[in-house]
A and B are shown apart, each in its own frame.
Chain A
């Protein structure tokens, strides 16, 4: 079993749709969690950190469930520009290591 697992998709949604991605992790010692966005042929860029209380940034909402060891990303009112691969990242700061999920590909269509 992979340490971090994501549904690879692809998710194909129309503009304006709401879409949610989940990511599960196996290491209960994980301490920090992030969602990254990677556009085609570009480097990953931080989309948002994920806090235990959940956090929202505009159309994006991230949540963490430590008991079930998963994090989620919700995108509301999808835009064409949201089309990208979304990477889940789990960090164990004590071990100084981070593990990346394989990514979920989203395509938003007009």
Chain B
């Protein structure tokens, strides 16, 4: 399966600032996914990032708040903009490993906004 390097692993940020999270995959993948997992909850898809096109955002998530870059088939970034304490969460990137292999996840970024 794919190997994903995600960083930073954790950060504590001041409200009003922005944080960019990076994910690097060891193989070329068509789609990369960004999830949020709030404490005690399951994963919520933020957006799907395709190389060469705008990311597709899920209901409740907007590009101004969570801009995404996908400059090539092995790399993507998610920025959490103008942060507030409600953005404190774990953010995970993921790639699809095929229909029968599900998804592989990065190790996650644990964000705390103070």
Residues on A facing B (Cβ under 8 Å)? 31-32, 34, 36, 41-46, 49, 87, 89, 91, 93, 96-98, 100-103
Listed by A's residue number, 16 A-B pairs whose Cβ atoms lie within 8 Å are: A32-B100, A34-B102, A36-B102, A42-B107, A43-B92, A43-B105, A46-B97, A46-B102, A46-B103, A49-B100, A49-B102, A87-B43, A91-B102, A101-B42, A102-B41, A102-B42
Residues on B facing A (Cβ under 8 Å)? 1, 31, 41-43, 45, 48, 92, 97, 99-108, 110
A100's partner among B43, B48, B107 (CB-CB below 8 A) is B43
Contacts of B104 in A (CB 8 A): 46
A92 to B108, CA, bound (A): 24
A91 to B98, CA, bound (A): 11
Contacts of B92 in A (CB 8 A): 43-44
- Further contacts, 10 of them, CB under 8 A, given A42-B107, A46-B1, A101-B42: A32-B100, A43-B92, A43-B105, A44-B105, A45-B105, A46-B103, A49-B102, A87-B42, A97-B45, A102-B42
Closest B residue, CB atoms, query A31: B99
Contacts of B99 in A (CB 8 A): 31-32, 91, 93
Contacts of A97 in B (CB 8 A): 45
A93 to B108, CA, bound (A): 24
A51 to B58, CA, bound (A): 28
A49's partner among B41, B101, B108 (CB-CB below 8 A) is B101
A100 to B42, CA, bound (A): 7
Closest A residue, CB atoms, query B43: A100
A44 to B48, CA, bound (A): 18
Pick from B1, B101, B102, B103 the residue with the most CB of A within 10 Å: B102
Contacts of B101 in A (CB 8 A): 46, 49
B40 to chain A, nearest CB (A): 9
Contacts of A103 in B (CB 8 A): 42
Q: Do B31 and A96 touch (CB < 8 A)?
A: yes
A85 to B102, CA, bound (A): 17
Closest B residue, CB atoms, query A34: B102
